[in-house]
Amino acid sequence: MKKESPLDIKALAQGAKTASRVLALAPSSRKDRALQRIAEALEQRVPEIVAQNRQDMAAGREKGLSEALLDRLLLAEERVKGMADGVRELASFPDPIGEIVGGRRTREGLELEQRRVPLGVVAVIYEARPNVTVDAAALCVKTGNSIILRGGGDAFLSNQVLSEIVAEAVYAAELPKECIGFVASKDRAVLGDLLGLTESVDLVIPRGGEKLKQFLVEKAKVPVIYAAGGNCHVYVDAGADLDQAVKIAVNAKVDRPGVCNSAETLLVHSSVAQDFLPLVVDELRANGVKLYVDEETKAVLRVEQVEQVESAQEVHYATEFLALEMAVGVVGSLEEAVQHITRYGTGHSEAIVTQDLEASRTFVDAVDAAAVYVNASTRFTDGAVYGLGAEIGISTQKLHARGPMGVRELTSTKYVVKGRGHVR
Amino acid sequence: MKKESPLDIKALAQGAKTASRVLALAPSSRKDRALQRIAEALEQRVPEIVAQNRQDMAAGREKGLSEALLDRLLLAEERVKGMADGVRELASFPDPIGEIVGGRRTREGLELEQRRVPLGVVAVIYEARPNVTVDAAALCVKTGNSIILRGGGDAFLSNQVLSEIVAEAVYAAELPKECIGFVASKDRAVLGDLLGLTESVDLVIPRGGEKLKQFLVEKAKVPVIYAAGGNCHVYVDAGADLDQAVKIAVNAKVDRPGVCNSAETLLVHSSVAQDFLPLVVDELRANGVKLYVDEETKAVLRVEQVEQVESAQEVHYATEFLALEMAVGVVGSLEEAVQHITRYGTGHSEAIVTQDLEASRTFVDAVDAAAVYVNASTRFTDGAVYGLGAEIGISTQKLHARGPMGVRELTSTKYVVKGRGHVR
């Protein structure tokens, strides 16, 4: 079933580019009709989707994928319906394209306006979750962008059937089906080629860990927004409410360990280490979390707790576990916590637990990340929570988009300037 | 005088990064005081600046630089004072850093705000004009970013003295002088190294032509915003007011031929070619413009005009002359004009001259460029004209910034989220 026939990625991208000029000028009603068609088709073709997904799941089990990864891969009927609902919700939102984001009459009397326009062709590179195929394609239809989908090999059949469904629905709504490009190849070389297509690809969004990011840093000639990994920290300050701190640390780790906004390291101020660490270690262990702790932590744990933890190596502080594992360290000061985060953090989500106003201000100012939390779990970094609607990823870089990326982040602007024979 | 001693670009960038964290948290008053100091120092040290510039000018003349380039290189007393005035004006603007650009109370009761923050370290790569040294450095001080300046070899001594003056003034205002990094080397390999410093450089802005752009596309691992060349077009539509069209075409070419927003190609609808082309060719020739025209153009020129023009080759349509040279072509339709611009344009500034409303709408929608003009010269693409204040360049890409880049485009944002023990 797996198609590994030679794929002309350049032609696919060029087709997406040509189609993007049609999509860019399509009226909102037609784009929303395409979204409605996608939702209907998903619901009608549940059995087919589930059948393809079952093959991916079986292969994944055979390959020994972790339970967390298998859970991300799974497409049950309910999840497909959830995807369809998400697409319908997106159809109901206002069209970002054509919005006038600013303007003025210039001193010279020119009428200046800045309009929101599509980017053109957006390539999304993603891993296990096949729902990204639909979510990302729907966001691109809404924002008038062609999309090139390059999913992970483990979800290949699921992604393929979903992208077919989406492309057919788009075509049924009288938009070019080349707007939806599916990279029907697991070949890394094809991905490399895609990253060099500066003539036709306007943006690549890699959704994956630091390894994928490094591959792109080396290879990409096209513009990239890294929706990269989150090595997120919870720092429990000297001024923390320790009950809050336990709840936040546990939630940030165990609520959904496989996602990027979950915490990977717990930092604790030395002045509360003795009171806090035995409490939180009990809770984390009760939730099945494997712990890598430093010597200072061991020194304040009860004897039977010490037996339940491992010694932290530097690598643990640098790892995004994406699993029920956590590194723990004691710091002598807020400044030391900030230094640790500056060194090991990936600029995603960082939290301080404190009732001390000055400490919270210092942490918020000094930590350089997309989202900084005071007395809340890092798990809240999410487009829906932030009120952006659906998201195509969470940017950990500073250009163009930082934090959850919604429809607006999938657009650019164009200045339109009208004169009456104006010259300089 | 030319220092070509080995330069540790990595250490320079790391110093700029460390300094950027201090600058990021500096109060507005201190940053504005630094700008005032820069302005004062420029005025006080005019003789020194002019002396260094004279050496660059002499070397440039010897090397045979064109008059246009020599004009860009020149720093007379008046120009230095103009730079100082620009820096003072910037000091008087509100601080973009710390601005709350959005926020809400989320459904869960979290207090969410999106704050404007600096990017960190911005590297600017530029060519002949030494005033960029001061303009770009001042914009970076204002926006709390460290800057790394890498100017063209022809302006080396001018750039060196200017960056010294700026760094000393910044230090005198109690900000780290490492905020102002000057690449005291003309070595292309050093530039290549700079483009790989992903740990310390947050953005590179190349201000130069397509060759510089291609070098960066190949080499850059750090994020880049291309303030690249402008192969700009003026299209004279069937519905044009021909008097307006002559004025606009001539202005777009001759007002300041050495800058990126000047026009390089004139496209004329066949239905007005006979009336329009003889008129505009007279005017352009009277202004000393060398013309490369197609056969259709020749066919409608007067005999003595034909002798004054050259035949256009494809390369002429693809060239940013940055000089008193222009390619001319006749097109059969608006669509053909758009196709020509899509093929040869660089996404900078494009103009249509027409009184036909529908034609103007079609052109504005179909042309994919940072700025699209109706009945106005392409020369207006400029931060000051657009009301952005000073600009650090004109972006020809779609991510982060498109068109003139002012202070806002030198910033990122950070989400700050406050809870009361919130967990998911």
Q: What is the mean pLDDT of residues B260-281?
A: 98
Within 310-349 of A, beta carbons closer than 8 Å to B belong to: none
Longest alpha-carbon distance in chain B: 84
Rounded Cα–Cα distance for residues B286 and B276 (Å): 16
Cβ–Cβ gap A21/B368 under 8 Å: yes
Closest Cβ–Cβ partner in A117, A217, A364 for B416: A364
Both tokens of residue B129? Answer: 């004009």
**Same topology for domains B9-227+392-418 and B232-380, yes or no?**
no
Q: What is the mean pLDDT of residues A344-356?
A: 97
pLDDT score for B391: 87
Q: Does A247 touch chain B (CB under 8 A)?
A: yes
Of the candidates B398, B259, B240, B406, the residue with the CA atom closest to the CA atom of residue B320: B259
Closest Cβ–Cβ partner in A104, A225, A368 for B387: A104
pLDDT surpasses 60 at B1 = no
HSE value, Cβ hemisphere, 13 Å, CA-based, for B387: 15
Closest Cβ–Cβ partner in A217, A414, A418 for B374: A418
Confidence bin at A2 (pLDDT 50/70/90): very low
Percent of chain B whose predicted confidence (pLDDT) is above 70? 99
- Which region among A164-173, A387-396, B156-165 has the lowest average model confidence (pLDDT)? A387-396
pLDDT surpasses 60 at A119 = yes
N residues, chain A: 424
Closest Cβ–Cβ partner in B117, B241, B419 for A376: B419
Q: Which residues of A touch B417 (CB under 8 A)?
A: 371-374, 376, 380
Of the candidates A399, A19, A14, the residue with the CA atom closest to the CA atom of residue A193: A14
Superfamily name and number for A9-227+392-418:
Aldehyde Dehydrogenase; Chain A, domain 1 (3.40.605.10)
- Which region among A217-221, A283-287, A343-347, B350-354 has the lowest average model confidence (pLDDT)? A217-221
Cβ–Cβ gap B380/A218 under 8 Å: no
Q: Rounded to 5 degrees, what angle do the CA atoms B362, A19, B266 make?
A: 40
Rounded Cα–Cα distance for residues A76 and A53 (Å): 8
Residue in chain A lying closest to B355 (CA): A420
Choose, out of A114, A399, A409, A420, the residue to mutate when testing the contact with B (most B CBs < 10 Å): A399
Cβ–Cβ under 8 Å, residues A334 and A362: yes
Confidence bin at A418 (pLDDT 50/70/90): very high
Q: Does B356 touch chain A (CB under 8 A)?
A: no
- Which region among A296-300, B120-124, B220-224, B305-309 has the lowest average model confidence (pLDDT)? B220-224
Q: Which residues of B touch A397 (CB under 8 A)?
A: 223
Q: Does A387 touch chain B (CB under 8 A)?
A: yes
| Three-state helix/strand/coil letters over chain A | CCCCCCCCHHHHHHHHHHHHHHHHHCCHHHHHHHHHHHHHHHHHCHHHHHHHHHHHHHHHHHHCCCHHHHHHHCCCHHHHHHHHHHHHHHHHCCCCCCCEEEEEECCCCCEEEEEEEECCEEEEECCCCCHHHHHHHHHHHHCCCEEEEECCHHHHHHHHHHHHHHHHHHHHCCCCHHHEEECCCCCHHHHHHHCCCCCCCCEEEEECCHHHHHHHHHHCCCCECCECCCCEEEEECCCCCHHHHHHHHHHHHHCCCCCCCCEEEEEEEHHHHHHHHHHHHHHHHHCCCEEEECHHHHHHCCHHHHCCCEECCHHHHCCCCCCCEEEEEEECCHHHHHHHHHHHCCCCEEEEECCCHHHHHHHHHHCCCCEEEEEECHHHCCCCCCCCCCCCEEECCCCCCCEEECCHHHEEEEEEEEEEEECC
Rounded Cα–Cα distance for residues B422 and A251 (Å): 9
- Which region among A2-6, A282-286, B389-393 has the lowest average model confidence (pLDDT)? A2-6
pLDDT tens digits along A200-211: 999 999 987 778
Instruction: List the domain boundaries for chain B.
Output: 9-227+392-418, 232-380
Rounded Cα–Cα distance for residues B130 and B74 (Å): 8
Confidence bin at B210 (pLDDT 50/70/90): confident
Exposed e or buried b per residue across A2-17, where buried means at least 16 C-beta atoms within 10 angstroms of its C-beta: eeeeebebeebbbbbb
Q: What is the CA radius of gyration of chain B?
A: 24
pLDDT score for A1: 43
| Three-state helix/strand/coil letters over chain B | CCCCCCCCHHHHHHHHHHHHHHHHCCCHHHHHHHHHHHHHHHHHCHHHHHHHHHHHHHHHHHHCCCHHHHHHHCCCHHHHHHHHHHHHHHHHCCCCCCCEEEEEECCCCCEEEEEEEECCEEEEECCCCCHHHHHHHHHHHHCCCEEEEECCHHHHHHHHHHHHHHHHHHHHCCCCHHHEEECCCCCHHHHHHHCCCCCCCCEEEEECCHHHHHHHHHHCCCCECCECCCCEEEEECCCCCHHHHHHHHHHHHHCCCCCCCCEEEEEEEHHHHHHHHHHHHHHHHHCCCEEEECHHHHHHCCHHHHCCCEECCHHHHCCCCCCCEEEEEEECCHHHHHHHHHHHCCCCEEEEECCCHHHHHHHHHHCCCCEEEEEECHHHCCCCCCCCCCCCEEECCCCCCCEEECCHHHEEEEEEEEEEEECC
Measured in angstroms, the CA of B318 and the nearest CA of chain A are apart by 15
ipTM of the predicted assembly exceeds 0.90: yes
Chain centroid to Cα B308, Å, comes to 33
Q: Does B243 touch chain A (CB under 8 A)?
A: yes
Within 188-217 of B, beta carbons closer than 8 Å to A belong to: 198, 202-203, 217
Rounded Cα–Cα distance for residues B24 and B38 (Å): 19
Closest Cβ–Cβ partner in A106, A119, A420 for B398: A119
Choose, out of B215, B341, B397, B398, the residue to mutate when testing the contact with A (most A CBs < 10 Å): B398
pLDDT tens digits along A170-202: 999 999 999 999 999 988 899 999 999 999 999
**CATH of span A232-380:** 3.40.309.10
pLDDT surpasses 90 at A3 = no
Interface A:B, Cβ pairs < 8 A: 210
Residue in chain A lying closest to B97 (CA): A365
Rounded Cα–Cα distance for residues B34 and B2 (Å): 28
Instruction: Specify the residue for token string 């967390």.
Output: A68
Cβ–Cβ gap A415/B372 under 8 Å: yes
Choose, out of B254, B414, B418, the residue to mutate when testing the contact with A (most A CBs < 10 Å): B414
Q: Does A255 touch chain B (CB under 8 A)?
A: yes
Cβ–Cβ gap B106/A424 under 8 Å: no
pLDDT tens digits along A13-52: 999 999 999 999 999 999 999 999 999 999 999 999 999 9
Cβ–Cβ gap B376/A251 under 8 Å: no
Q: Which residues of A touch B419 (CB under 8 A)?
A: 373-377, 380
Cβ–Cβ under 8 Å, residues A110 and A422: yes
Rounded Cα–Cα distance for residues A143 and A390 (Å): 12
Q: Rounded to 5 degrees, what angle do the CA atoms B226, B232, B235 make?
A: 150
A324 by Cβ neighbours in 10 Å (0-12 / 13-18 / 19+) ranks as: middle
Q: Rounded to 5 degrees, what angle do the CA atoms B243, B247, B252 make?
A: 145
Confidence bin at A385 (pLDDT 50/70/90): very high
Q: What is the mean pLDDT of residues B201-209?
A: 89
pLDDT surpasses 90 at A388 = no
pLDDT score for B5: 55
Q: What is the mean pLDDT of residues A387-401?
A: 89
The residues facing B227 across adjacent strands are B207
Measured in angstroms, the CA of A14 and the nearest CA of chain B are apart by 13
HSE value, Cβ hemisphere, 13 Å, CA-based, for A122: 33
Rounded Cα–Cα distance for residues B86 and B66 (Å): 27
Rounded Cα–Cα distance for residues A404 and A397 (Å): 11
Q: What is the mean pLDDT of residues B297-309?
A: 97
Residue-averaged pLDDT of chain B: 95
Measured in angstroms, the CA of A273 and the nearest CA of chain B are apart by 19
pLDDT score for B227: 81
Closest Cβ–Cβ partner in A104, A110, A252 for B376: A110
Both tokens of residue A109? Answer: 């009397």
Cβ–Cβ gap A106/B385 under 8 Å: yes
Of the candidates B346, B341, B350, the residue with the CA atom closest to the CA atom of residue B395: B346
Cβ–Cβ under 8 Å, residues A245 and A377: no
Of the candidates B336, B320, B231, the residue with the CA atom closest to the CA atom of residue B273: B336
Choose, out of A221, A397, A408, A412, the residue to mutate when testing the contact with B (most B CBs < 10 Å): A412
Other C-beta atoms closer than 10 Å to the C-beta of A187 total: 14
Q: CB neighbours of B43 closer than 8 A, spacing ≥ 6?
A: B80, B81, B84
Q: Does B106 touch chain A (CB under 8 A)?
A: yes
Both tokens of residue B173? Answer: 């205002």
Cβ–Cβ gap B386/A415 under 8 Å: yes
- Which region among A102-106, A398-402, B205-209, B336-340 has the lowest average model confidence (pLDDT)? B205-209
pLDDT surpasses 80 at A366 = yes
Q: Does B102 touch chain A (CB under 8 A)?
A: no
Cβ–Cβ gap B370/A423 under 8 Å: no
Cβ–Cβ under 8 Å, residues B90 and B33: no
Other C-beta atoms closer than 10 Å to the C-beta of B250 total: 22
Within 116-135 of A, beta carbons closer than 8 Å to B belong to: 117, 119-120
pLDDT score for B258: 84
Cβ–Cβ under 8 Å, residues A180 and A15: no
pLDDT score for A5: 55
Measured in angstroms, the CA of B60 and the nearest CA of chain A are apart by 29
Instruction: Give CA torsion, residues B358, B364, B367, B369, to 10 deg.
Output: 170
pLDDT score for A209: 74
Q: Which residues of A touch B380 (CB under 8 A)?
A: 106, 108, 110, 417, 419, 422, 424
Q: Does A361 touch chain B (CB under 8 A)?
A: no
Measured in angstroms, the CA of A38 and the nearest CA of chain B are apart by 27
Cβ–Cβ gap A251/B423 under 8 Å: yes
Q: What Cα–Cα distance (Å) separates residue A295 from each residue in A312, A313, A330, A338? A: 8, 11, 9, 20
Both tokens of residue B245? Answer: 């069209």
pLDDT score for A170: 98
Q: What is the mean pLDDT of residues A98-113?
A: 96
Measured in angstroms, the CA of B338 and the nearest CA of chain A are apart by 12
Q: What is the mean pLDDT of residues B83-94?
A: 95
Closest Cβ–Cβ partner in A202, A380, A399 for B424: A380
Cβ–Cβ gap B369/A402 under 8 Å: no
Phi, psi of A206, deg, nearest 5: -85, 125
Q: Does B419 touch chain A (CB under 8 A)?
A: yes
Residue in chain A lying closest to B347 (CA): A414
The one-letter amino acid at A109: G
Q: What Cα–Cα distance (Å) separates residue A107 from each residue in A174, A422, B351, B371, B384? A: 44, 12, 20, 17, 10
Rounded Cα–Cα distance for residues B368 and B399 (Å): 14
